[in-house]
Structure 1
Amino acid sequence: MRIDNTTYSKLRLIGIAALAVLGLVLIGFTIKTGLNTNKVVMPEPINPLEGRVLPHLDHSAYFKDSITSPTELTKTCLKCHPNSAKEVMKTPHWTWQSGDVMRNGKNIKTGKRNQVNNFCISVVGNWKSCVSCHAGYGWKDQNYDFTKEENVDCLVCHDGSGTYSKANYGMPDKSVDLKTVASSVRRPNRDNCGICHFNGGGGMGVKHGDLDESLLNANAELDIHIGKLNFQCIDCHETKHHAISGKLNTTYTEKTKVERFDCAKCHTEKPHKEHRLNEHTARIACQTCHIPEFARKRPTKMTWDWSKAGSTTRKDDAHEYLKIKGEFHYEEEVIPTYAWYTGKMERYITGDKLDNLEEHNINNPIGSRKDPKAKIWPFKVHHANQPYDPVNNILIPPLTSGDGGYWTKFDWKYAIAKGAELNNLPYSGKYGFTKTKMYWPINHMVSTKKNALTCVQCHSPEGRINWQQLGYKHDPAQGAGKTIKK
């Protein structure tokens, strides 16, 4: 039957009226039955990828001729992108400096240039290998010129060929075809970031525990943001003028001024349907519940004993022992250590006197139960035994990969003396090895919600949280007057 416009309009009005009556009936039913009309309406998480198109331009037309050197390549890039090098040179990826610390009444810039860790220990004197992760070319000693724009490495972040790699002193590996790589440039992808951040400390997954090559093609169980939404690193680490947001938390200091990442940027401060869970978010980091283990697919280094290096009888094994580095212990699917954390660290820098602890802190999370800005946070804690001067009571970064370094001469006395000289440190002529620990905040490998921690995994006698270490007399879920059972 054909319906004319007049009939259609009448039927439409009748339908609207019927829906209005139905709505009034439902409202009355709700009031009469006492149903909760204040039910929390859950906001949908923001998807940073929604409506975005990855920009791409075929650059092959700009690189028709062979490229003689990486610096010449950078000069070519700057013809079309004249401000890019200047922008990069203002960032920590170039300067290797971040926050300040106060020493002897003075502010001192800190960063990779003058901080000590308990993995490969220090950059100074070890430029040959360490600066393969610098976003520049040719850093060989203290006299490196940080003002030369042509030394900026565009390819390490923008290679789209998958063939780019860096070698000694930050130069491209000899096998790299610069023309092929330059023709492939694109917006940075996970594998670009992973070249350095997955391999920090001299190998896959060594340092972080939550960053390794398993994230390149992670499923949702391993990382919900990558596996379900296909996030790239820079979808969270948003970038403006080549300044990539976020800083490595291990280099934070009490004076670092930086906007910290916050899950609530996308998920709000009250992301749960259950009110009791939302009460946790003020004092417990999202990562604590949603990253129940780290090193989920590949093992990560948990201990490193430099004092065992140099053996002529032990066989090399990347996960157990290397003559040039010493003895290691790796673990997989590791339950984190939990500590209060404001996002800043107390930080040992080169030349500081060691604390009086049996195991010295390279860094230490700032925060306590009494600090309203602190949250309970998950950490990987790496333990080491590394060189120091027992007379001056300071850590000494040894010369390892440079000329005459320990990796070639296997002479601790020379390597430590030379390292002290390069770092402008006093040296008594005596050396030993001392225990240290270093905290690495866990932020990646956010699993699906079904894998999040349950109540009893924290609130039970066998739970993973040591409440006394966090400043509680007892498990707060047990109520007043209870004691912890362990």
Structure 2
Amino acid sequence: MACHKESPQVRHTSGPIAYSAMVRGPKVRPLDTRAPSDCLACHPAKVPDHKELVKLEGNVDALTVTRNCLSCHENEGKAILHTAHWNWQGPSPYTVGHEKRIDLGKRSNTINNFCINLNGNWERCTSCHIGYGWEDENFDFTDMTKIDCLVCHDTTKTYKKAPPGAGFPKKDVDLVKVAKNVGRPSRDTCGMNCHFRGGGGASVKHGDMGPVLLNADKFIDVHMASTESGMDFQCQDCHKTRNHMVSGRSISVPPVEGDLSCEYCHTEAPHPGSSLTDYHLNKHCDHIACQTCHIPIYAKGKPTKVHWDWSCAGQDIKAKKDKYGLATYNKKKGSFQFKQSAKPSYLWYNGTVKRYILGDRINENGVTELSMPMGNIDDPASKIYPFKVHRGKQISDAVHKYLITPQLWKGYWKHWDWDKASRDGMKYAGLEYSGEYEFVETVMYWGLTHTVMPKESALSCAKCHASSLAKAPYCGRCHQEREGVDFKALATKGVDFKTLENKGMDVSELIGKSDYIDYKALGYRGDPIEFGVRFQRLKLGKAD
């Protein structure tokens, strides 16, 4: 703080030395007062060589490795016990109606429309937990020896969990070798050991995360690109940590351990020039999230799952493959639909989420929303954001009208009886089962924040304002022509879907597509350029 709290607005050039995500940004843009407050924010501590520090030899088990880690890192172990990564629940200040709760999370009381819920399915689901031995509801969350240090700190790329092993590693992993080669987390440890494979496979859950980020080019992700002058970001470059609590949040799960947004690095006026174009773009930022323009498509690597129908599971039928070569049916799980290089859905979002909690009543007259971004055109705090939409059909109690958490592992996947799976699963959930079930439609919204494309591949003005900017006079309907300014080039400059198709992306249906955003669905009368912006609708506030 002594250096940066009241620092003058000096210029800097980005590069590998400017390592802190807080100050890295486009060339020749000013720093602001949110610069790092300590040395380590710019100069991360180098992890010492552990080859001599780790006093282990031979064939040791995972718990022995953890005890060895704790002999030096007891305070870190104590800190882990208070994190959402360990507890799978935590403070939920942005979940509407549950803002003061600290017990929300996938540990027990939230439901998704992928593999549904943890209750009764521990050994399989906790294969992704940062611990060992979470086999049932009696797991001891105060036992530091159950912490899995290696899953985040392995640098050998040989450490693998063993589903369904309740978090224990595969038996052929050389744990001593891994322990002697620990280091800072990486995209590989965060991703391949967990977040890139959520939902049972690569890119299944998250539309903006997958194995493609390990060696991405800038058209996949300009921040994490390791080729073509990419920045080669690791996860913690943005997701700063404090006492092992990780900043950032997901619409799909309630816990929050620290806020994170594009503005933390790029400010609320991210376009640094002084031209009229920069002015317009910065004014857009009052109403439109950065991601909306800079993530025009998602699932640019492996296809992501967009629909899951549990109602047809249990049949002995041959699974057909889709155009991506992926099976569209599995006896254990039902039928699936996948999409690669998909166009996002756009909604107003003010940062809060309406979330389905175990025991909530379903929507008997329509689709039950499991995670719904809150916001609307009349809310000054709302901006237009892009989302992946995952639709499902899952089991529900036909009498009590709430969703069922069936026992799948060692349950339905063994005996193929939905009634028994429901009865056993609801015992673990602590809710009554009526004995009658039905399948209902559900929907989840997943935020899109990763896979930001280069600025040259952002949505063009004409993509979203085709009715007014895709034809002459282009910008001339409001601005006088100026020598040296090509209005057509300005209005149409942006993502070229034909180029992306040539790179192998499934975007043929987007080539030539206009009116990319459905303004009427967002509450406008039509294109805001023609029908007016939302100024007249807003109460006095920031947006104008």
Judged with a 3 Å threshold, the aligned counterparts in structure 2 of structure 1 residues 260 and 384 are, in CA distance, closer, same or farther, namely: same
Structure 2 residues not aligned, in runs of 5+: 1-26, 468-513, 534-544
Deviation of 1:60 after TM superposition, in Å, equals 1.8
Aligned counterpart in structure 1 of residue 184 of structure 2, from 174, 182, 187: 187
- Once residues 283 and 152 of structure 2 are traced to their aligned partners in structure 1, the CA distance between those partners, rounded to angstroms, is 40
User: What is aligned with 1:92?
Assistant: 84
Deviation at 1:64, TM superposition (A): 4.2
The answer to whether the aligner puts 1:58 opposite 2:49 as a matched pair is yes
Native 8 Å contact 1:98 1:251 kept in 2: no
Question: Normalising by the residue count of structure 1, what TM-score does the alignment of the two structures yield?
Answer: 0.85
Aligned positions of 1:131-210 closer than 5 A: 131-167=126-162, 168-194=165-191, 195-210=193-208
Candidates 418, 421, 431, aligned match of 1:425: 431
Q: Label 1:383 to 1:285 Cα distance change in 2 as closer, same or farther (>3 A).
A: same
Q: CA deviation at 1:164?
A: 0.8
1:68 aligns with 2:60: yes
User: What is the Cα deviation at residue 54 of structure 1?
Assistant: 6.3
* From 232, 251, 254, the counterpart of 2:253: 251
SS of the aligned residue for 1:72 comes to helix
Distance in 1 between residues matched to 2:69 and 2:402, nearest whole Å: 45
- CA separation of 1:45 and 1:413: change in aligned 2, threshold 3 A: farther
CA offset at residue 42 of structure 1? 6.1
* Percent identity for Structure 1 against Structure 2: 43
Q: How many residues align?
A: 436
Which residue identity does 1:466 align to in structure 2?
D
Q: Is 2:84 aligned against 1:109? A: no
Matches within 5 A, 1:238-387: 238-252=240-254, 259-272=258-271, 273=273, 274-315=278-319, 318-387=326-395
For 1:214 and 1:395, the matched residues in 2 are separated by 34
Contact between 1:386 and 1:434, CA under 8 Å: does it hold in 2?
A: yes
In the aligned structure 2, how far is the partner of 1:77 from the partner of 1:141? 25
Q: Whole-Å Cα distance in 1 between the matches of residues 300 and 340 of structure 2?
A: 6
The equivalent of 2:476 in structure 1 is: none
Which amino acid is the alignment partner of residue 172 of structure 1? P
| Residue 463 (str. 1) matches residue 467 (str. 2) | no
Residue type of the alignment partner of 1:464: Y
Shift of 1:319: 3.6
Cα shift readout 1:204-248 (whole Å, capped 9, x = no counterpart) = 000011000000111111111112111100000011221111122
Give the distance between the partners of 1:333 and 1:280, measured in 2 at CA: 25
Tell me how far apart the structure 2 counterparts of residues 357 and 91 of structure 1 sit (CA, whole Å).
Answer: 38
Give per-residue Cα distances to partners, 1:376-403, cap 9 Å, x unaligned: 00000000000111111010011111x3
2:539 aligns with none
Question: How far does residue 355 in structure 1 lie from its aligned partner after superposition?
Answer: 2.3
State the Cα distance separating 1:150 from its structure 2 match.
0.3
CA offsets 1:392-433 (integer angstroms, 9 cap, x no match): 1010011111x3x11121111111111111111111101111
Quote the Cα distance in structure 2 between the aligned partners of 1:211 and 1:324. Answer: 25
For 2:532 and 2:188, locate their aligned partners in 1 and report how far apart those are by CA, in whole Å: 51
User: Take 2:128 and 2:351, find their aligned partners in 1: how far apart are those partners?
Assistant: 24
Measured after TM superposition, the shift of residue 105 of structure 1 is: 12
Question: Counterpart amino acid of 1:69?
Answer: D
Measure the CA separation in 1 of the matches of 2:134 and 2:211: 27
Q: 1:43 aligns with which of 25, 29, 32?
A: 29
Cα distance 1:67–1:298, how it changes in 2: closer, same or farther (>3 A)? same
Partner of 2:416: 410
* Distance of aligned partners of 1:146 and 1:53 in 2 relative to their CA distance in 1, 3 Å threshold: closer
Aligned amino acid, residue 73 of structure 1: V
Question: How many angstroms apart in 1 are the aligned matches of 2:136 and 2:41?
Answer: 45
Letter of the structure 1 residue corresponding to residue 75 of structure 2: N
Following superposition, the deviation at residue 86 of structure 1 comes to 0.8
Q: Which moved more, 1:119-128 or 1:98-107?
A: 98-107
- 8 A contact 1:336–1:378 mirrored in 2: yes
Letter in 1 for 2:267: T
**C-alpha distance in 2, partners of 1:212/1:171?**
23
1:274-333 Cα offsets, whole Å, 9 max, x none, are 101110001110000000000012100000001111111223765411111110000000
Supply the distance in 2 between the matched residues of 1:352 and 1:159 (Cα, whole angstroms).
40
Larger displacement relative to structure 2 (352-361 or 56-65):
56-65
CA distance in 2, matches of 1:249, 1:156: 24
Counterparts in 2 of 1:84 and 1:292: CA distance versus 1, 3 Å: same
Alpha-carbon distance in 1 for matches of 2:67, 2:205: 34
Greater Rg over alpha carbons, structure: 1
- Listed one character per residue, the Cα deviations across residues 22-71 of structure 1 (whole Å, up to 9, x for unaligned) are xxxxxxxxxxxxxxxxxxx9625799999635623221222441252211
**Structure 1 runs not aligned, ≥5 long:** 1-40, 482-486
Q: What do you get for the CA RMSD once the two structures are aligned? A: 2.3
| Structure 2 CA distance for partners of 1:339 and 1:103, relative to 1, 3 Å | closer
Please point out which of 460, 469, 475 is paired with 1:454. Answer: 460
Deviations 1:79-120 (CA, angstroms, capped at 9, x unpaired): 111211111111100010033468799957210121000000
Q: Hey, what's the Cα distance between the residues in 2 that align with 1:361 and 1:221? A: 33
Partners of 1:442 and 1:197 in 2: how far apart? Answer: 14
Q: Residue 475 of structure 2 aligns with which residue? A: none
Distance 1:108 1:388, change over 3 A: farther
User: C-alpha separation between the residues in 2 aligned to 1:181 and 1:324?
Assistant: 35
**Residues 149 and 411 of structure 1: CA distance in aligned 2, closer, same or farther (over 3 Å):** same
Q: Larger relative CO (CA 8 A, sep 6+): 1 or 2? A: 1
